[in-house]
Amino acid sequence: MNQEEIDRLCVNTLRFLAVDMVQHANSGHPGMPLDAAPMAYVLATRFIRRDPADPGFIDRDRFVLSAGHASALLYALMHLVGYQEMTLEQLQRFRQWQSLTPGHPESHLTRGVEASTGPLGQGIANAVGMAIAEAHLAARYNRPGHEVFNHHTYALASDGDLMEGVQAEAASLAGHLDLGKLIVLYDSNRVTLSGTTSLTFTEDVAARYSAYGWHVQEVDDGNDLAAISRAIEAAKGARARPSLIVVRTVMAYGSPDLAGSWHAHGNPLGTEEVKKTKRNLGWPEDPPFHIPAEARARFRSVAERGEALHRDWDQRFAAYARAHPELAQEIERRFSAELPAGWDEGLPRWPADARGMATRKASEAVLQALAKTVPELVGGSGDLDPSTFTWLKEGGDLESPARQREGVDGVVGGGWGYAGRNIHFGVREHAMGAIVNGLVYHGGFIPFGATFLVFADYMRPPIRLSAIARLRSIWVYTHDSIGVGEDGPTHEPVEQIASLRAIPGLIVLRPGDANETRCAWQVAIETHDTPIALILSRQSVPTLDRGALAPAEELRRGAYVLNRGEADPELILIGTGSEVPLIVAAEPALRQRGVRVRLVSMPSWELFAQQSAAYRESVLPRAVKARLAVEAARSFGWERWVGPDGDILSVDRFGASAPGDLVMKEYGFSIDHVVARALALLERLTGPLPPTSPSRGS
């Protein structure tokens, strides 16, 4: 059998493993695996540098299947090249309960899957994040004669990916950054789930990407392995620009009745059509999941090559470690997700201050301290650094070194180039979220992305995916309430905190003062497998007197009693964020009325829910029915914590344009109104209160 025949055999092996998986499950997407198998084969056997025996090999090439619906193709490829957990049994359990072959790839579930994809466009943006990661690590750690980071990021994308707005945002930034080690293969089969692209998508994608600054090529025949290979070689040679390779294919290639049809996009071919397709391409109808010995041998040579590449890198890294031991130790520490010793010892602490500061400003101070001790901390904002204060001063600007710094306004400072730790995402919140996730997928980073809380809506898909994939992504959201003020309801978040709390696996932290903000960042940095959303205020809030109140470190428990001296409360006031100082200020007036008040700061519902039942009972005793929650956001969900008899001072309508303190007052967030609501709640539950009483119930 000559090489051309072996290649054809291997491509068809890939095709029909995927087709049999879909047919066996009676669920899935056979069309793209049939047409994209040649691209996957060329990438796997000729280009991608990976070691299936060690999927976490640091300097491996990254591969992202942005078109996650073609997951059967990915799993078939992983099995053939020797990923140990991807057994034939797993292929036969495609889309089944507790299998390693779910309908769309899940990185936390299946070793060797680089990113959880499925929502189209996300994978391209994740790949941009991975390419940024490689460029940054190479700039920071490579030394003359010692190149420890030098890998490519490949992505396989579909027409649907190229339609989604997130890929446009990410591709624009990738072009600006000259990410020359990013290569996207676009499977242009001109079919989507419900029809041909002539219905909706007739733009010149190649011209658009050229305008972004990408190196663009076109391959007219998706079965021409030599042409695909030449295009990838040329893309690798275009080191100054990211590359897009537009490969013309036919959806469900080889299917006599469904080739080129949307009916093959998201439905099994059917038993008879599978037989026809196999006959048409010269493949035996039976048995299913057939793997010829010649194909298996060719694919397994990929594993042998990967092992050799890995051994070579290990030797080079050992030489690097001898020459640069401290840098080598830092690399190993970063990729093991360990934090440096003493990383949080220099974090700022604040004394009691009635004027206080905005929690976004406290966050800025904490970030500067963290930047000195946690080099893997990297991030930026959606064009909002002067408002979110999420810059790492003197941390450098992550920019293409080919672009001139002179004349650029808005530079953070501390260096210009890929070694910079400040990523200027521009007004691209959706891409920012997916790129941050890509940095986590790559490994070696604790990344953050920041914007106004109201614009979290622009980036909900990557937030959700960070929770699904259990990523160490940090989302920083400032301007967290109607306290934003003059900008009005379009910029005043109301429902956003509730919507974030609704995402399973996302920890939402809304610190109540500067010291809680410090502790919130500590939790965010320490948390390995859960994304964190930090919710921070625009307006100043008092810094609480921690000598009289419980220490801010109690934030780690999600909720805690502030005034521990009140052991037998009849009323509990619960606050979050900027409303915590408000309930503290209301307590003396209630005490003067003889009300025994417990104050509870509840920065995180999720962390509190993780505590033992005994601890939760110690903070919110079931016997105390009078509970008033105070939060300048939607009331949705608070019923869980105040109980059926409690009350919620919240914002259940949109905000207004006026000075922030006035808006807060008009919406009821004042000492007088909190006191009035609390007394009304008590009267509803216990009857009329006396005008004054030094000690109710004594």
Phi, psi values for residue 651, rounded to 5°: -125, 105
Smallest Cα–Cα separation from 628: which of 605, 647, 601, 650? 647
Whether the bond into 287 is cis, omega within 30 of 0: yes
429 is a catalytic site residue: yes
d(CA 692, CA 195): 74
Task: Name the packing angle between helices 293-323 and 3-25 (round to 10°).
Answer: 100
Q: Is 116 within 8 Å of 64 (Cβ atoms)?
A: no
Q: Where are the alpha helices (DSSP H) in 341-428?
A: 359-373, 385-388
Q: Which two tokens stand for residue 132?
A: 């940024």
d(CA 580, CA 599): 9
Q: Which helix (H) or strand (E) holds 3?
A: helix 3-25
Give me the residues paired with residue 693 across strands: none
- For residue 643, the tally of other CB atoms under 10 A from its CB is 15
Smallest Cα–Cα separation from 501: which of 432, 539, 453, 541? 453
d(CA 556, CA 565): 21
- For residue 275, the tally of other CB atoms under 10 A from its CB is 14
Give me the residues paired with residue 544 across strands: none
Q: Classify 448 as helix, strand or coil.
A: strand
Annotated catalytic residue within 364, 399, 429, 606? 429
DSSP label of 184: E
d(CA 686, CA 682): 6
Mind telling me the catalytic residues?
429
